[in-house]
Structure 1
Amino acid sequence: MEKLSRRQAEILQWLHRYVQEHDAPPTRVELMQAFAFQSPNAAESHLRTLERKGYLQLQRGRARGIRLTEALPQDGLPLVGRVAAGQPILSEAHLEAYLPAADRLFPEADFLLRVQGMSMRDAGILDGDLLAVQRCAEVHNGQIAVVRLEDEVTVKRWQREGERLWLLPENPDFAPIQVDLGRQALSVEGVVVGLIRRGGKL
């Protein structure tokens, strides 16, 4: 099958999630609203392109006449869940999708994580952004790290002094998280090496 553009891949991923969550495909209007298209015709155009490339079949005359025919493409970087950029939330370890071409944008990255929350706003990391993350065993002070703290995952700026670690937000509305490494279980998932926002790479 033909490869997908980033926008086509985003739409296909959204369609798969919608079907999983609602046990039915969306209408053209719901697709239009989800991606802020100007009209249902724009949504229909994207659906026809996905049909031509073999990822779905359209059933004419039916409001929800979309049948997904292929699994999500497995090229690019895997999107493996969400990271809280506020208070930590339980990591969603299941694979959501693969983002085509992301591995070429960020060749050093191993996976993508979706941000939830605004605690890293002043570092340019906003709710809904995709973070490109490189797996590593060591983090240097000042780096933005993705860490697992007692089975929860968060993204913060790393500041360590001996056994004391501060996970620092980049938003004055949020308090730092202080970690006693001698008492609390913490593991490093990786460091942030890039960011993708809908509409372009930052």
Structure 2
Amino acid sequence: MTERQKMFVKFIDNFIKDNGYSPSVREIAKGMGLSSTASVKTMLDRLTESGALKRAGNVARSLDTGSAGVPVLGRIKAGVPVTSEENIEGYIRMDRTLSDGHFFLRVDGESMKDKAILDGDCVLIRQTEYIEDGQIGAFRLNGEVTLKTFERTSAGIFLMPANPDFAPIPVTEYDDFQVIGSVKMVIRSLEGGYDIEPA
């Protein structure tokens, strides 16, 4: 792509991230400082032909820069901690404002069922090094990863399950402990599987 074409694609992508929908031809013209919508249409045609943009014919606000979406990074144990393989399985398309600093993990196990997080669900994780007391998050403990509720008490820090069949996991000063992120959303497939695009 030429530098001018890259500027067009960047403007469209940023507009979608800010607004949740693609810009109109007039909005692109205004944003790019152009007085003619004809030149915008010509550029959109070229970008579509080259594959840099996708659009559904002449449907308004149907531009797509092809951003992959939110990555699915494999499984996280809702039970005892397990080693996490951070291989991208695919992507789930969502509001583009979520793409940066977010990822999905598949839930494996039943230890969080009383918080309505079930085996097979996908949880959306926002990456952060800080988590508040009572928040559900993904944690790395001694090289293994688990999904639990963070709880700080006078007796110390615990990773709490939401199922009486599982015991709390204490975190001591001798443990290698890291907050990976907080859970922001749970997606459950009732039938037909998730709409995950391949990596």
TM-score range, shorter chain: 0.5 to 0.7
Q: How many pairs does the alignment contain?
A: 127
For residue 77 of structure 1, the aligned residue among 70, 94, 100 is 70
Correspondent of 2:103 among 105, 108, 111: 111
Q: Distance in 2 between matches of 1:163 and 1:95?
A: 38
Question: What CA distance in whole angstroms lies between the structure 1 residues aligned with 2:108 and 2:97?
Answer: 22
TM-fit CA distance, 1:164: 2.1
Question: Could you report, residue by residue, the CA deviation over 1:65-98 in whole angstroms, capped at 9, with x for unpaired residues?
Answer: xxxxxxxx86110001111001111101111111
Under a length normalisation based on structure 2, what TM-score does the superposition of the two structures give? Answer: 0.58
- Partner Cα separation in structure 1 for residue 175 and residue 125 of structure 2: 23
* Structure 2 CA distance for aligned equivalents of residues 151 and 115 of structure 1: 18
Query: What percent identity do the matched residue pairs reach?
Result: 40
Contact 2:136 2:149 in 1 (8 A): yes
Q: Which has the larger radius of gyration?
A: 2
- Taking structure 1 as the reference length, what is the TM-score of the superposition? 0.58
For the residue of structure 1 that corresponds to 2:139, the secondary structure is: strand
CA drift of 1:104 comes to 4.7
Unaligned runs of 5+ in 1: 1-72
Partners of 2:111 and 2:151 in 1: CA distance: 16
Contact 2:131 2:137 in 1 (8 A): yes
| Partner secondary structure for residue 148 of structure 1 | strand
Q: Which residue of 2 aligns with 1:187?
A: 178
- Label 1:109 to 1:196 Cα distance change in 2 as closer, same or farther (>3 A): farther
**2:149 aligned with 1:157:** yes
* 1:106 to 1:156, Cα distance in 2 relative to 1, 3 A: same
Hey, what does 2:92 align to over in structure 1? 99
Note the residue ranges of structure 2 that are not aligned, 5 or more in a row: 1-65, 195-199
Assess, with a 3 A threshold, how the Cα gap between structure 1 residues 108 and 171 changes in structure 2: closer, same or farther: farther
* Two-structure CA RMSD over aligned residues (Å): 2.4
2:140 aligns to what? Answer: 148
